[in-house]
Amino acid sequence: MLFKKKPSSLTEGLLFKYDVPHQLPLMTIIERTRIAVFIMVKLFILNGAALETRLKYWDYRHF
């Protein structure tokens, strides 16, 4: 079994999963990069484009 104790939440489960020394380090690297890319893409879609346009208009207005 991957989990020795039942995690109370999803984030605790993920942290517990990655704290445990894993059988397949390559898979953990792939999973880490996949989760990180997913989070970065989601944050860019939510904040990045709006922030970039906001900063661009701010620069045009103030300079």
Mind listing the pLDDT tens digit for each residue in 7-60? 455 555 555 555 555 555 666 777 888 888 888 888 777 766 666 666 666 665
Does 47 reside within a domain? Answer: yes
Q: Are 31 and 41 in contact (CB under 8 A)?
A: no
Following CA atoms 2, 14, 40, 43 in sequence, which dihedral angle do they give, to the nearest 10 degrees?
A: 140
Does 10 reside within a domain? Answer: no
Q: How far, in Å, CA of 17 to CA of 23, rounded?
A: 11
Does 33 reside within a domain? Answer: yes
Range of the domain at 54: 17-62
Does 4 reside within a domain? Answer: no
Q: What is the separation of C-alpha 62 from the centre of its chain, rounded to a whole number of angstroms?
A: 34
* Domains in the chain, number: 1
